A and B are shown apart, each in its own frame.
Chain A
Amino acid sequence: MLSSLRTGVQGLWRMSSRTLHTTSSLQHDSLFVHRDTPEDNPNIPFEFSPENNKRIEALLAIYPEGHKRGAMIPLLDLAQRQNGGWLPISAMHKVAEILNLPRMRVYEVATFYTMFIRRPIGKYHVQVCTTTPCWLRGSDKVLNAIKEATGCEVGGNSPCGKFSLSEVECLGACVNAPMVQVNDDYYEDLSIEDTKEIIEKLKRDEKPKPGPRSGRFASEPLGGLTSLTEEPTGPGFGLQDALKA
């Protein structure tokens, strides 16, 4: 409200006003505040499945006594996976119950991290990296190709409901740029044809082969190795004298 007041006042004064300070109204890609909808409200029960309950016990064992709060992110991730790729409010309440924390502590974490999706999402969440290293290698074309092929707008779901498209920050596969992440897999070294092929396969519910599409296996230079051309050395190679006892 204050921010719209500021915009209104600025419009009247016709010059930038630094006297009315408000925080920017858009800090995040998705809405911070939860709005109850028919698909996502606290009255829909959420329970972890029996297999997930076993996983929860294993996860909780990692953290020392008194610090089980550390399992917050893994538990929320588990809930998201069980719920088809997005995190409903009742799952957050369940995690708060398991960790014996106020619900607000879970809300804080669920809104802070970008991988927690808090709205219904399609079966295939296509995340396109558009940060500078990928942008230099043509991520704009890849993004446009996906928009055309799926009919999604960035940040939205496709009309058929199967795809969701997001523009994300660096995914950590920069030498294999441009690339996209679909659910858990990386599809790298993409050209426009590769991108279309991947989307077509996903439309038919077939899993495209993850990894680089240009013919290389991982991050070696395409067209021939320039290092590691010899067989790897074996145990004890170059062992120092102090250990040769």
Chain B
Amino acid sequence: MAGALTRVIQGSKTHLGVVGSLVNINNGSVRFAQTKTQFGPLADSDRIFTNLYGRHDWRLKGALKRGDWYKTKEILLKGTDWIVNEMKTSGLRGRGGAGFPTGMKWSFMNKPSDGRPKYLVVNADEGEPGTCKDREIMRHDPHKLIEGCLIAGRAMGAQAAYIYIRGEFYNEASNLQVAIAEAYQAGLIGRNACGSGYDFDVFVHRGAGAYICGEETALIESIEGKQGKPRLKPPFPADVGLFGCPTTVNNVETIAVAPSICRRGGSWFASFGRPRNSGTKLFNISGHVNTPCTVEEEMSIPLKELIERHAGGVTGGWDNLLAIIPGGSSTPLIPKDVCTTVMMDFDALVAAQTSLGTAAIIVMDRSTDIVKAIARLIMFYKHESCGQCTPCREGVSWMNKIIYRFVDGNASPKEIDMLWEISKQIEGHTICALGDGAAWPVQGLIRHFRPELERRMAEYAAVHGPSQAERLY
């Protein structure tokens, strides 16, 4: 749901008159000055998710051995300002797709209480095609998430955390629930969590199959027991959120790295990746690669190195590559020449006219019917649209019909521009960012593969005569 929050950043940037780095807003804190220019393989000792592949015990005993819940009481006793400052120093940006600076987001909750309780909501909905990283955290390292909830809750003065996990993840939810029960029994959460005097509850709420519930306000609506239809923002969840109370919604990975940041220091986290794109990230590499996998790597690592080192390279070699979707289905695709040099971080991909999103890399080689691949994504968005606002409900449905005709070539080249125009009319005109998420893949396809679309139309016309669109217009 990148679009809406990106719009917020643009809005707040111009409002505050800040042109340069967002980090300038936090005055006085120590900021790590990155000197590296090569971002390459991460050392195992720098990896946060040490049980990513589930080879060690995921329960409390194993988690304690791997360093979870160590000095949590001391961290909690340091207080709100210290924790939020660590997060700001670390430069952590939201891992759920929008990349909003986490320290800033948590500081929005720092208002005097007006009697309403505050809540933390963890977004474990993970519906974005290509993304399967939160699943690994929840089933193999759940205690990192629970400890993160506690620390984040303390930082924002929340009294409880609701972890919204998608309904299809039954086994992952089961592991998470067992881990929560263990944490309650050990006194790590609940009343007087970790002996710090702070009361904090963690609850799991299972969803029931709706991608739109990954959007923060739709998620809040879903926890409240209604249809997952997003709300208009403003008012933002930090003002009116869950049950009408101030709420922050964060992705699982964002919350799960918070304890490691507090323990090892914000500067340590900021030492990875380029400035304003710091830290480590879980990458999901799927599609036409030799060994698809999930891997934790440094931000700003070159895309080619990432795929060749961890996913065994593209099937048939790098030259067999057609296009890559770098950040989950909502991000526009990038063709091979861009992929060869681009780095995997927020800024570099925005410069390449795409976005990091959830870092779910979908690789497509030359055997792929690229138009069909994108058409299937648009069908996904049409299915998942909640139906509240007209541009998305009608527009995405319309784009779906058109793009399926493009698969056969049963269209006129004028319709390519018409499809572009439709996508521009949806983008930015919807209540939530699902409209943007549906528009961007289409724009990526048209931007980089227009010759392919026109070729198909010419082929179709050679066999069947001019298409109906050509005849009518």
A interface residues (Cβ-Cβ under 8 A, vs B): 15-16, 24, 27, 29, 62, 64, 67, 69-74, 76-77, 99, 105, 108-109, 112-116, 130-133, 135-137, 168-177, 181, 184-186, 210, 217-223, 225-230, 232-243, 245
Residues of B within 8 A of A99 (CB): 225
A sample of 21 cross-chain residue pairs with beta-carbon separation below 8 angstroms, ordered by A number, consists of A27-B387, A62-B203, A69-B225, A70-B224, A73-B206, A74-B206, A77-B167, A109-B226, A113-B210, A116-B208, A132-B377, A172-B131, A174-B129, A174-B286, A174-B362, A218-B54, A221-B292, A221-B312, A222-B291, A227-B52, A232-B67
Pick the residue among B208, B224, B310, B329 that contacts A114 (CB under 8 A). B208
CA distance A245 to B74 in the complex (A): 9
Question: B273-317: which have CB < 8 Å to A?
Answer: 284-288, 291-297, 309-312
Residue of B nearest to A113 (CB): B208
Of all A-B residue pairs in the complex, the 10 with the closest CB atoms, nearest first, are: A240-B265, A72-B225, A113-B208, A115-B209, A232-B50, A69-B225, A221-B291, A114-B209, A221-B293, A219-B294
Q: A112-B386, A170-B130 are in contact. List 20 more A-B contacts (CB 8 A).
A: A62-B203, A69-B225, A105-B225, A105-B226, A113-B209, A114-B210, A131-B329, A136-B286, A170-B128, A175-B285, A177-B287, A220-B294, A221-B291, A221-B292, A221-B310, A228-B50, A232-B65, A232-B67, A239-B263, A243-B71
A77-B167, A132-B329 are contacts. A169–B228 as well, Cβ < 8 Å? no
Residues of A within 8 A of B265 (CB): 240-242
A184-B170, A243-B71 are contacts. A228–B53 as well, Cβ < 8 Å? yes
A221-B291, A226-B309 are contacts. A112–B227 as well, Cβ < 8 Å? yes
Question: Which of B132-140, B432-440, B452-460 is the contact stretch?
Answer: B132-140
Secondary structure dominating the interface of A? loop
Assess the A132–B129 pair: CB atoms within 8 A.
yes
Residues of B within 8 A of A234 (CB): 65-67
B interface residues (Cβ-Cβ under 8 A, vs A): 41-42, 44-45, 47, 50-56, 64-67, 70-71, 74-75, 78, 82, 117, 126-132, 135-136, 140, 166-171, 203, 205-211, 222-228, 243, 262-265, 268, 284-288, 291-297, 309-312, 329, 360, 362, 364, 368, 373-374, 376-377, 380, 383-384, 386-387, 397, 472
Assess the B71–A132 pair: CB atoms within 8 A.
no
Assess the B127–A232 pair: CB atoms within 8 A.
no
Assess the B225–A133 pair: CB atoms within 8 A.
no
| CB of B86, distance to nearest CB on chain A (Å) | 9
CA distance A235 to B54 in the complex (A): 18
| CB of B199, distance to nearest CB on chain A (Å) | 14
Pick the residue among A172, A186, A217 that contacts B53 (CB under 8 A). A217
